[in-house]
Amino acid sequence: MKINRLNSIILLGLIAIISILVAQLLWTKEAFTLEQKKLSQKAHIALLEVSRKLYEGTDHEHSCQNPVQKISNDYYIVNIENDFEPDILEFYLKSEFKKMNITTDFEYAMYNCQSDEMVYGDYVSLSKKGKQNKTVYFPKHKNLVYYFAVRFPNETTYLFSSMRFWFVLSTALILILLIYVYSIFKLLQQKKYSELQRDFINNMTHEFKTPLSSILIASKYLIEQNPIKEDKKLHTYTDIIIKQSHKLNNHIEKILNIAKSDYVPLEIKKETVLIVPIIEETIENIRLKYPEANVRIESASAEYKIETDVFHFHNLIYNLLDNAIKYCTDKPDILVQITSHNQTLKLAFIDNGIGIPVKNISFIFDKFYRVKNEKSNEVNGFGLGLYYVKEICNLQNWKIKAENNSEKGVTITLSIPYKK
């Protein structure tokens, strides 16, 4: 099975992050082992020094070359072969552990040869948590007469606290892995939706346009028949079928063009043109569709020229005018104002419509976005008109913005680079 490039990148990225995470965990484990060895070495040195000091001031010599034995990770015994006082032992333990920078709590016990048992000494807190009273069993050892035992009850916690950096780094890597997995999940989900959309568009091309073409052909043939021409009502109904079929065909074409632009960029064939005649022609077409609309143009000059694609520029103007008329409750009154300033040509489309709520105005150029208002239920559409306008502007490096008028309606302004 052939794996496409996206899946390969996802797989390689996942393998890389998991490998880094595994390596980090192994390093953390190794660091823990090293910290454990370091603590063991420091404890061993400190206990050796304690045993040496317990012999100071006495006539006895230390017969053991290595009196310190490590029984387990947190448990040590020290052979002294000399009697000693508990208070002195505790003092030496505290001072030597402090010198070796051992700050974890410890407990100690001493062997009492008279009772033949280990006598619990005390729980010594070297941390900031305060002293705690604990009673822990200290096992007795054979062949030793004078010895003491030391246990570090919080050794694991102490080691973990000294490795905060490693755990923070590991946690950060785990979070990065989770974010990566979530991002990949969303990416694949979005890819699936895009493929579904593309399949839907392809199916709609065949399923909608084929029967629609048949309806248009049949309706145009039907309206030319004498019985239909003679019956005014039948002629009106047939004409409605033709007009609505054309309208539906335009909607389908608009959806197909926008969907196509997601995969193949819209082709812009620029040429130098006078924009005033194009706008006037578009206004005439709008008046045929909306005879009641008052659309006028106000320009400082009729000689404004720009480089643009005539077809898309015509559609852009038509969409802006059509949108302004549809979202108007009064008699539509639209002014197309053309001005130039500082090598910028501005086209302002000023209407007297219902306006746009401030919280929604930044989204009106988004794909499929429609503002919910009193007219949105009456006006048929897919939220693609202004998105198409925005796309054409972006392709030509034009700027577009929308703002509410002070009294009523909206002004949409195009800013076009212009050289006289």
- Same-domain status, 254 and 290: no
Per-chain mean pLDDT for the chain: 79
Question: Which of 117, 137, 161 is the last residue before a domain boundary?
Answer: 161
- Same-domain status, 157 and 250: no
pLDDT, residue 378, reads 56
- Same-domain status, 157 and 9: yes
pLDDT, residue 381, reads 61
Query: How large is the average pLDDT for residues 14-43?
Result: 82
Question: Which of 232, 263, 294 is the last residue before a domain boundary?
Answer: 263
- Same-domain status, 351 and 306: yes
Q: Between these two residues, 17 and 206, which has the higher pLDDT value?
A: 17
97-148 residue pLDDT tens: 888 888 888 888 888 776 777 878 888 887 655 455 555 667 777 777 778 8
pLDDT, residue 324, reads 87
Do the strands 147-151 and 75-79 form a parallel or antiparallel pair, or are they unpaired? Answer: antiparallel
How many domains is the chain built from?
3
The Cβ-side half-sphere exposure at 157, using a 13 Å CA radius, reads 8
* 3-class DSSP assignment, residue 328: coil
CB–CB of 202/28 below 8 Å? no
Taken in order 82, 86, 91, 97, the sign of the CA dihedral is: positive
pLDDT, residue 413, reads 92
User: Interhelix angle for 232-263 vs 164-223, to 10°?
Assistant: 150
Share of the chain above pLDDT 90, in %: 3
Nearest partner of 137 among 75, 69, 94, 93, judged by Cα? 75
- Same-domain status, 148 and 282: no
In the predicted structure, residue 20 carries a pLDDT above the cut 70: yes
Q: Between these two residues, 209 and 289, which has the higher pLDDT value?
A: 289
286-307 residue pLDDT tens: 887 788 888 889 887 878 888 8
Please state, in angstroms and rounded to a whole number, the distance separating the CA atoms of residues 209 and 403.
37
- Same-domain status, 258 and 301: no
pLDDT, residue 2, reads 43
- Same-domain status, 298 and 234: no
In the predicted structure, residue 84 carries a pLDDT above the cut 80: no
- Same-domain status, 10 and 127: yes
| CATH number for the domain that contains residue 350 | 3.30.565.10
Question: Which of 161, 176, 199 is the last residue before a domain boundary?
Answer: 161
What is the residue range of 220's domain?
Answer: 165-263
- Same-domain status, 154 and 170: no
In the predicted structure, residue 349 carries a pLDDT above the cut 90: yes
- Same-domain status, 138 and 54: yes
User: Which of these ranges, 235-244, 350-359, 365-374, has the smallest mean pLDDT?
Assistant: 365-374
- Winning range, highest mean pLDDT, from 222-226, 400-404, 416-420: 400-404
298-333 residue pLDDT tens: 887 878 888 898 888 888 998 899 888 888 888 888
- Same-domain status, 226 and 348: no
Name the residue with tokens 């579904």: 196
